[in-house]
């Protein structure tokens, strides 16, 4: 799955009577990133779905990712890892200014608009799979929806097996030293500790 991203300039920047025009259309495989760039202030981004306000994001930035991109930048910002067969769009905040703002997984039918708030203290910067970085000023938007053109893939085994193996290989997912059973001497030591605690009561 891929995301189709469209940049739209604010109406008042197009000229008298302007209605807003797209300036760039880009397709991404992993994620779209909107962040505060070099500014010391929080970015203030309004998130909409087909014109309905979802929330206003006050954070260092926000990531909108595909299931494929869920194991890239999004997971390092605390997002969920999503199986590539799941038709979903992820929205992951970067260092949000509230503890209650957690990552959200939307169905692929949403059409998200990220708009720099008119009263934002600073502009924002957008990048697409880490490339084509450009500035968004107040009122500018980027529209994100699922692309009609997915990426065909070839699997070594089955898709779930490949996904889990890649998590283990690339992210060392859930790897740790295994906890083993106690040997006889350890069991005896635990028994003595338990008896001592019982005698002290």
Instruction: Determine the structural domain holding residue 186 and report its residue range.
Output: 156-201
Q: Which of 116, 138, 153 is the last residue of a domain?
A: 153
Nearest to 92 by CA among 105, 83, 82: 105
Same domain? For 73 and 104 the reply is: yes
Same domain? For 8 and 107 the reply is: yes
Same domain? For 148 and 160 the reply is: no
Same domain? For 83 and 171 the reply is: no
Same domain? For 39 and 78 the reply is: yes
Same domain? For 108 and 91 the reply is: yes
What is the CATH classification number for the domain harbouring 128? 2.60.200.30
Same domain? For 189 and 144 the reply is: no
- The confidence score (pLDDT) of residue 13 equals 54
Share of the chain above pLDDT 70, in %: 94
Q: What share of the chain is helix, strand, coil (3-state, %, to 5)?
A: 20, 40, 40
Could you read off the pLDDT of 31-88 as tens digits, one per residue? 999 999 999 999 999 999 999 999 999 999 999 999 999 999 999 999 999 998 899 9
Same domain? For 200 and 109 the reply is: no
Query: What CA–CA distance (Å, rounded) separates 77 from 58?
Result: 15
- The confidence score (pLDDT) of residue 21 equals 65
Q: Which residues of 74-108 are buried (b: 16+ CB within 10 A; e: fewer)?
A: bbebebbebebeeebbbbbbbebeeeebebbbeee
Same domain? For 41 and 86 the reply is: yes
Could you read off the pLDDT of 103-146 as tens digits, one per residue? 999 999 999 999 999 999 999 999 999 999 999 999 999 999 99
| Exposed / middle / buried, residue 44 (Cβ in 10 Å: 0-12, 13-18, 19+) | buried
Domain count, the chain: 2
């Amino acid at each position: 799955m891929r995301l189709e991203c469209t940049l739209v300039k604010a109406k008042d920047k197009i000229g008298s009577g302007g209605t807003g025009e797209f300036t760039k259309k880009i397709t991404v495989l992993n994620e779209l990133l909107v962040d505060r760039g070099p500014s010391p202030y929080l970015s203030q981004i309004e998130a909409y779905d087909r014109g309905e306000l979802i929330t206003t994001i006050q954070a260092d930035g926000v990531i909108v990712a595909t299931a494929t991109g869920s194991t890239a930048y999004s997971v390092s910002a605390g997002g969920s890892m999503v199986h590539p067969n799941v038709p979903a769009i992820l929205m992951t905040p970067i260092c949000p200014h509230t503890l209650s703002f957690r990552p959200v997984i939307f169905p692929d039918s949403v059409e998200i608009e990220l708009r720099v708030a008119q009263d934002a203290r600073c502009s924002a910067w957008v990048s697409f799979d880490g490339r084509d970085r450009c500035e968004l000023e107040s009122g500018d938007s980027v529209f994100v929806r699922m692309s009609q053109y997915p990426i065909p893939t070839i699997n070594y085994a089955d898709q779930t097996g490949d996904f889990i193996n890649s998590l283990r290989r690339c992210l060392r997912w859930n790897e740790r030293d295994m906890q083993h059973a106690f040997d006889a001497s350890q069991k005896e030591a635990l028994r003595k500790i338990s008896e001592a605690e019982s005698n002290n009561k």
